[in-house]
Structure 1
Amino acid sequence: MNVWTPSLVEERLAEAAFVLKRLPEPRRQGYFSTWPAVLHSFGDKVGQEPKPMRVLPSPQAISRMEETLTWTACLEPVDGRIVWMKAHGERWKEICWSAGLHRSAAHQHWQFGLAVIALTLNKRRFNRNLSKQRVIELASGA
């Protein structure tokens, strides 16, 4: 990928969030159970919901996720939080409540964050004093 666009950045962030959800939960070292494993009979299992299968992500997906985690370092904390919350599939109502912004302002912060990441990945210089809308237009025209 030579040219990064905000939509490609959005897809990669969404993939990274999905990979993070699929990783196994960390376990504390040094703790173990001395209880024997419980063997359930067929009668015990009859009304239970099946456990969801947990498919572990591939090593390539984990590598892409690790690379993606560093992308929000160049953003303001509010923009980074909004970008990650949207990547995790949060609803705009929750994002607005968390950031303390109106829907249109939160959407502009999200677009600005994606644009800054895309411009940074493309190694394009831009003036940090530009308006958010101008930076979004610069990234879209790349």
Structure 2
Amino acid sequence: MKWTPSLVEERLAEAASVLKRLPEPRRQGYFNVWPEILHSFADKVGQEPKPMRVIPSPAAISRMEETLSWTVGLDPIDGKIVWLRAYGERWKTICWTVGLQRSAAHEHWLYALCVIAWRLNRRKVPRLRSRRYVIEMVKGACEDPASHPN
């Protein structure tokens, strides 16, 4: 499988979704001795329904665990932007959080996706090159030459 920045983005979004759906951690040794309250129909009228929590599959959890290690070695700001974006945060919120303008935050995010894709394809990321050069290099390498009639 050849990794592209868009595939990396999809996988990170899936991992964030799985993390949101995991059950809450519980402390060991604590329990509740109160009986469960059974509500009648009249009690439930006007209440908001509880959101349905779908537990992720074991395969999805395994992919999520694999994906968690992808941001190790990235610049901390890049890693933060990648995970905030994977969780679906708006760019405005991301910019406030990391203290960058929209275009700079987007370039950090795109660079991080390209670095992850490059590493997953078992290639060495050039250290002494600009972010823009690495982004263009990865985009050029990920394009399928058969799709271009030239």
Moved runs in structure 1, 4+ residues, more than 4 A? none
Instruction: State the distance in 2 between where 1:17 and 1:126 align.
Output: 25
Instruction: State the distance in 1 between where 2:4 and 2:30 align.
Output: 46
Superposed CA RMSD: 0.8
Unaligned 5+ runs, structure 2? 142-150
Q: SS at the partner of 2:16? A: helix
Native 8 Å contact 1:74 1:117 kept in 2: no
- String of CA shifts for 1:7-36, please: whole Å, max 9, x gaps: 100000000001111111111111111111
Instruction: State the distance in 1 between where 2:133 and 2:68 align.
Output: 26
Alignment coverage as a number of residue pairs: 141
Instruction: State the distance in 2 between where 1:111 and 1:123 align.
Output: 19
Residue in structure 1 matched with residue 94 of structure 2 by the alignment = 95
Unaligned 5+ runs, structure 1? none
Cα distance, 1:50 vs structure 2: 1.4
- String of CA shifts for 1:16-63, please: whole Å, max 9, x gaps: 001111111111111111111111112111111111111111111000
Residue in structure 1 matched with residue 9 of structure 2 by the alignment = 10
Residue in structure 2 matched with residue 25 of structure 1 by the alignment = 24
Normalised TM-score (structure 2): 0.91
Instruction: State the distance in 2 between where 1:52 and 1:125 align.
Output: 44
